[in-house]
Amino acid sequence: MVFFIAVGAGAVFGLKYYYETAIPYKQEQIVLIESGEGIKEIAKNLAALGVLHTYPVFIAIETILGYNTAYKAGEFLLKPSLSPKAISLALRTQKPIQHRLTLVEGATAADLRKLLQAAKPLKNDLSVPIVEGGLLPDTYFYSRGDSMNDIVKRMQTAMRDTVNELWEKRLPNLPLKNQAEAVILASIVEKETAKKEEYGLVASVFINRLRLNMPLQSDPTVIYAITGGEEKINRPLSRADLKMESPINTYTVTGLPKSAIANPSRAAIAAVLTPPNTDYIFFVADGTGGHAFARTLQEHNANVAAWRAKMGR
C-alpha cells in the first residue's frame, strides 16, 4: 500500500513539475487557435511551435482541470519561456491580438476596398454596399477572422453618428438641404486642402458660391469624374477635362455634385456646418502647401499671378 501511495505521490509531483516548469524558448510566439479546434489540435500546434513538450501530458492535465473546453478562437501572443501552466492561463484569459485598419481622411470607397483585400486576417465576406461619403475615416481595430462586413458597418455607423451630432450644431441658414449635402460638400473641402486649419476658409468659399449660385469649380470633382476615385492623376487638368460632362464635375454642374467624392473627416464636416463668416469666393494654391483667398476676381488674379511666379510658370 505504501508503495502505491508513493508511486501516486510521485506521479502527482511529476505532473506538477511538468506543468509549472518554464520551457526555454527565446522568442515571442503567436499562437493561432482556429474556430472549432479542440485541445488536441491546440496542444499539437503548441508543440510544433516549440513552446510545449510532451503534449499528451498537457492534454491530460488540461482535461483533469476542466480547461480543455475553455479555449477561444483567435491569435494570442506568448512571451518567451512560459510554463505549460502559464501558457494555458494566457490562452484562456488573454484578449486576442488586435490588428488595425486605418481609413485616412479623404480616402475613397475604392481605397477602402483595397485596404480590406490587403487585410489578410479578415474574413473575406464583403457584401455590404460601400457608398462614397458613408464611411468615417479613423483607425479601426479587429481580431483575426473578424468580418469585412462588420468593419464596414462600424465605419458606416461611426459616420452616421458623427453627422447626426454635427448636424444638430450647424449654423442657421446654410445653403444645404440635408445631411447628405453636408457630407458631399465636406468631401470636396477634404480633397481641396491638406491643411486642417484651412478647412473652414475653404468651406466658406464654397458656401458663399452656393449662396450666389456660382459653380463651385472644384478640381477634385473633375479628377473624381475621370477616375471614379480609383487612382490619382499625375498630370495637370486640361481644358477638355474641365468641360467633361459629368454630374460630378462642378465646372459643368451648378451647385453640388450628385454624390460625395471621398469620405470626409469629422473636421471637414464640422467646417462645412460651422464655417467662418467670410466674403471669400476665390482661392488658389500659394506655392507653400496652403492657399490664398480672395474676395474679388481682381484679387484672385493677383494671387494666381503670384503663384505662377513662385512656381516659375
pLDDT band, very low/low/confident/very high, at 10 (cuts 50, 70, 90) = low
Kindly state whether residue 136 falls inside one of the protein's structural domains: yes
Give the model confidence (pLDDT) of 239-268 as tens digits.
999 999 999 999 999 999 999 999 999 999
Tell me, yes or no, whether 233 and 278 share the same domain: yes
> Phi/psi of residue 176, each to 5°?
-125, 125
Domain extent, residue 113, equals: 99-159
Could you say which of 128, 159, 190 is where a domain stops? Answer: 159
Cα–Cα dist 122/75, whole Å? 12
Tell me, yes or no, whether 73 and 123 share the same domain: no
Tell me, yes or no, whether 26 and 83 share the same domain: yes
Q: What is the DSSP letter of 198?
A: G
CA distances from 247 to 77, 152, 244 (A): 51, 26, 10
Kindly state whether residue 168 falls inside one of the protein's structural domains: no
pLDDT value, residue 26: 84
Give the model confidence (pLDDT) of 104-134 as tens digits.
999 999 999 999 999 888 989 999 999 999 9
Kindly state whether residue 167 falls inside one of the protein's structural domains: no
Looking at per-residue confidence, does 311 or 4 come out higher?
311
Looking at per-residue confidence, does 287 or 83 come out higher?
83
Mean pLDDT of 280-284: 95
Tell me, yes or no, whether 107 and 88 share the same domain: no
Could you say which of 45, 65, 93 is where a domain stops? Answer: 93
Tell me, yes or no, whether 22 and 143 share the same domain: no
Kindly state whether residue 294 falls inside one of the protein's structural domains: yes
Kindly state whether residue 235 falls inside one of the protein's structural domains: yes
| CA nearest to 72, candidates 40, 124, 32 | 32
Q: Residue 67 maps to which CATH number?
A: 3.30.1490.480
Answer whether 288's CB lies under 8 Å from 188's CB: no
The answer to whether residue 3 scores a pLDDT higher than 50 is no
The answer to whether residue 6 scores a pLDDT higher than 70 is no
Could you say which of 60, 93, 126 is where a domain stops? Answer: 93
Tell me, yes or no, whether 44 and 9 share the same domain: yes
The answer to whether residue 2 scores a pLDDT higher than 60 is no
CA distances from 45 to 52, 55, 100, 149 (A): 9, 9, 26, 30
Query: CB within 8 A of 88, min separation 6: which ones?
Result: 58, 62, 67
The answer to whether residue 65 scores a pLDDT higher than 50 is yes
pLDDT value, residue 311: 73
Tell me, yes or no, whether 299 and 190 share the same domain: yes
Answer whether 192's CB lies under 8 Å from 264's CB: no
pLDDT value, residue 303: 87
Tell me, yes or no, whether 210 and 302 share the same domain: yes
Give the model confidence (pLDDT) of 134-159 as tens digits.
999 999 999 988 999 999 999 999 99
pLDDT value, residue 120: 80
Give the model confidence (pLDDT) of 180-236 as tens digits.
999 999 999 999 999 999 999 999 999 999 999 999 999 999 999 999 999 888 888
Tell me, yes or no, whether 227 and 306 share the same domain: yes
- For the stretch 40-45, contacts whose Cβ atoms lie closer than 8 Å and that sit 24 or more positions apart, written own/partner, are 42/71, 42/91
For residues 143, 147, 152 and 158, what is the CA-based torsion angle, rounded to 10 degrees? -50
Mean pLDDT of 34-49: 93
Cα–Cα dist 226/222, whole Å? 6
Tell me, yes or no, whether 184 and 298 share the same domain: yes
Mean pLDDT of 79-95: 93
Tell me, yes or no, whether 88 and 42 share the same domain: yes
Tell me, yes or no, whether 150 and 190 share the same domain: no
How many separate domains does the chain show?
A: 3
CA angle 282–175–243, rounded 5-degree value? 50
The answer to whether residue 4 scores a pLDDT higher than 50 is no
pLDDT value, residue 11: 65
CA distances from 46 to 37, 39, 190 (A): 13, 10, 49
| CA nearest to 188, candidates 95, 130, 258 | 258
Kindly state whether residue 198 falls inside one of the protein's structural domains: yes
The answer to whether residue 7 scores a pLDDT higher than 50 is no
| CA nearest to 201, candidates 258, 283, 120 | 283
Kindly state whether residue 222 falls inside one of the protein's structural domains: yes
Kindly state whether residue 166 falls inside one of the protein's structural domains: no
pLDDT value, residue 5: 45
